Structure 1
Amino acid sequence: MTFRLVTPLLIAAAAPPLGGCAISINDPGAPSPSVARAAAASLAIRFEGIETPKGQIMLSVFDNAAAHDQNGAPVRVAAVPVDGTTAVASFEGLAPGDYAVKAFHDIDSDGKMGTNPFGMPLEPYAFSNNAKVQGGPPRWEAARFPVVAGANTIRITIK
């Protein structure tokens, strides 16, 4: 069975920008900008257990099961430089709800996960909730976590 993670840089053009939330001024049902900002969430993702202090952590953040489980478009992507045993990615303007993260440590900084001829990863990887791999990447149910209005922080161990 092949093991595939979405490469964030290849799909960055399809993802929304890292900041802000979009609301239509002409939509009478849309909350006012101040209400939308008050309900927005921030998310800090702390990657731990990094054994090779170089390269970058490539990550994709998903907000639904279909996108996560079927390699659909993430709501956010990032490439975070690694300079030590930890790295932190931060996102602003998220809507409260459930999210899941897929990440890998791009040690050689080539923008893609190194794999063997059978599709098995050669670079360290991780998922939110430190969800375990069982014949492929974990499903949404194993990786999802709640994000509430305000500041949120999660920890993910790179293996």
Structure 2
Amino acid sequence: MTTDIPSRANAEDTRSGAADVAPEQAEAIKAVEAEFSELMTQVRRIIHQHAERVSPGLNPGAYKIFTSIVRHGPVTSSDMVDRMAVDKGQLSRTIRELEGLGLIARTPAPSDRRVSLLEATPEGIRRLEAARSHHESLLYDTLRLWDVDRVRDLAELLHALTNGVTPEAR
């Protein structure tokens, strides 16, 4: 008597729910995955360029933390740990680096003076704006040529994908 043992690929397909997906849908999903891989390479390149413009030698991880503080600040360190999914020790070292560069400042939280709020300095914001003014990226150069509604649609779809929700039908 023989027993059918599913191949590893088939077992993974079953676990991920891929067995319920039509071949055309599976191919489309694979195409999206491949394009995301290419896009992530481009985004890493852009982040590296911007980090260098903000402060020569600034690593891309520190740049991402800095831009998150700019976008969401003032924030606490614990908020940043949750938001960025980073180690507390690494975040602490990065905050010291960003402070030393004059990009961010810590101030006591009004509700609890033991807690520090992280916020971009005016100099940090100026340097970030200057870094971003060099729109030498394929992403920016491409999206600026698109119809604004298509760009908004893309942002909405990416938001839905990032948050694991189904976008609203149009």
TM range (shorter): under 0.3
Higher strand share goes to which structure?
A: 1
Higher helix share goes to which structure?
A: 2
RCO higher in 1 or 2 (8 Å CA, sep ≥ 6)? 1
Report the structure number with the largest CA radius of gyration. 2
